[in-house]
């Protein structure tokens, strides 16, 4: 069953220099119990689309077109108070820095309890009990409920943010780079915990990160974003094992992993285009070594395999892309 459907959404920002097309026609779905990884580099729009779903966009940004359907109902048409009902109860978010989720002047336990009581009329004792259970669930000692956010270490804060996100047993959790600021070992523990909780509660998830290895260990589906658009999208295994889009191929060959210390890592020179009045056509063509005149036309997402989509005009050249894509010289175009 499709839990969340994002349909051709465009999110624009008003800036002093013009309108920035941060997200420009993004579509994807998240099924019940499924975990989608949104991967991409800085400025690709992945955080923006997440904020659009949960309606936490900055005041100068707006959804220009498209729709976001949750359990079949449109989210974009809802009023702020209706969205507040849904937030935490149906869809919750684990922000990048847990300090953003928590108020520094209130104790952590109090914040969790308050979040619960805002949505469910329970008694204080019941709230305390639930907070205890939540902390136990994420592997934190219940005594720490009495602490203020700054008294907890980074890893503990992140775990409390997870506890808070799961407090009302939402159907969908959006995690925005939840482990980026953490040490490798803490990251491992938190990822394990997230997987464990997902299995237990069947929660669906959108996992936003630039670290493909994290997605490889937590997600079922992956969407690769670049300059506000989706470049490739499909099941994790298909996209990772048989990438079709040059950007995906480039990323995979540029990605350093401890089990893949190849001698010939590539890098993709250049940087994403300015999204204020972006040029027409495929926005990756400035860095893509395989460009052709047709790239001046914007490519749609084409189904290249069953449930595997790529936004490139040339899926037929994929063998060539994969073969050439592992060589550094190929990417050093001028």
Partner 1 sequence: MSQREPVLIAKDLRKWFPLSKGFFHSLLGEETRFVRAVDDISFEIYRGEILGLAGESGSGKTTVGELLVGLNRPTKGQIRFNGRNIAELLGSELRAFRRHSQVIFQDPYESLNPGYTVYRTVMEPLNNFGIGRREERVERISEALERTGMKPPEEYLYRFPHQLSGGQRQRIAIARAIVVGPELVVADEPVSMLDVSVRAGILNLLKRLNQQMGLTILYITHDLSTLSYICNRTAIMYLGKIVEMGGTTGLVRNPLHPYTKALVAAVPRVAPNGAKPRVEIIGQIASPIDLPVGCRFRPRCPRAREICEEREPPLLPVGEERRVACHLYSLN
The footprint of partner 1 (CB under 8 A) covers 41-42, 153, 155-156, 183-189, 191, 210-214, 216-217, 240, 250-252, 254-261, 265-271, 328
How far apart are alpha carbons 108 and 113 in whole angstroms?
A: 9
Residue 25 structure tokens: 């026609």
Give the nearer residue to partner 1 in terms of CB position, either 233 or 247: 247
Q: How far apart are CA 289 and CA 332, in angstroms?
A: 8
Closest distance to partner 1 from the beta carbon of 47 (Å): 14
The least distance separating partner 1 from the CB of residue 42, rounded to whole angstroms, comes to 6
Which of 4, 51, 10 has the alpha carbon at shortest distance from 230? 10
The sign of the CA dihedral 209, 212, 215, 217 is negative
Query: How far from 75 is each of 14, 58, 204, CA to CA, in Å?
Result: 22, 17, 17
Which of 56, 77, 63 is closest to 14 using CA atoms? 63
- Least distance CB 165 / partner 1 (angstroms): 21
Nearer to partner 1, 153 or 277 (CB): 153
Which of 109/250 has CB closer to partner 1? 250
Q: How far is the CB of 80 from partner 1 (least distance, A)?
A: 35
- Least separation in angstroms between residue 168's CB and partner 1 is 27
Q: Which residue number, 3 or 266, has a Cβ lying nearer to partner 1?
A: 266
User: Closer to partner 1 at the Cβ: 27 or 186?
Assistant: 186
d(CA 105, CA 108): 9
């Amino acid at each position: 069953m499709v839990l969340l459907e994002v349909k051709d959404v465009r999110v624009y920002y008003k800036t002093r220099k013009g309108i920035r097309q941060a997200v420009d026609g993004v579509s994807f779905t998240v099924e019940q119990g499924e975990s989608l990884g949104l991967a991409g580099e800085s400025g690709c729009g992945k955080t923006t689309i997440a904020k659009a779903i949960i309606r936490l966009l900055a005041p100068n940004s707006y959804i220009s077109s498209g729709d976001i359907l949750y359990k079949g109902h449109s989210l974009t048409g809802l009023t702020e108070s209706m969205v507040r009902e849904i937030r935490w109860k149906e869809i919750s978010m684990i922000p990048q820095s847990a300090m953003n989720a928590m108020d520094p002047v209130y104790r952590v336990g109090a914040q969790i309890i308050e979040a619960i009581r805002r949505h469910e009329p329970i008694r204080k004792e019941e709230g305390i009990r639930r907070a205890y259970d939540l902390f136990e669930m994420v592997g934190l000692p219940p005594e720490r409920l009495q602490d203020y956010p700054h008294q907890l270490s980074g890893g503990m804060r992140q775990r409390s943010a997870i506890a808070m996100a799961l407090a009302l047993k939402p159907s969908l959790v959006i995690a925005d780079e939840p482990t980026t600021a953490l040490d490798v070992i803490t990251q491992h523990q938190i990822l394990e915990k997230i997987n464990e909780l997902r299995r237990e509660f069947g929660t669906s998830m959108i996992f936003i990160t630039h670290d493909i290895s994290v997605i490889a260990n937590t997600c079922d589906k992956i969407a690769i974003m670049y300059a506000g658009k989706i470049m490739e999208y499909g099941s994790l295994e298909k996209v990772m094992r048989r990438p079709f889009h040059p950007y995906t191929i480039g990323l995979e060959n540029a990605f350093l992993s401890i089990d893949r210390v190849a001698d010939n890592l590539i890098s993709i020179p250049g940087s994403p285009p300015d999204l204020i009045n972006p040029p027409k056509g495929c926005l990756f063509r400035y860095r893509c070594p395989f460009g052709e005149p047709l790239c001046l036309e914007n490519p749609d997402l084409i189904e290249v395999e069953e449930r595997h989509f790529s936004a490139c005009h040339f899926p037929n050249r994929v063998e060539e892309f994969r073969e050439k894509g592992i060589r550094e010289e190929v990417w050093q175009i001028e």
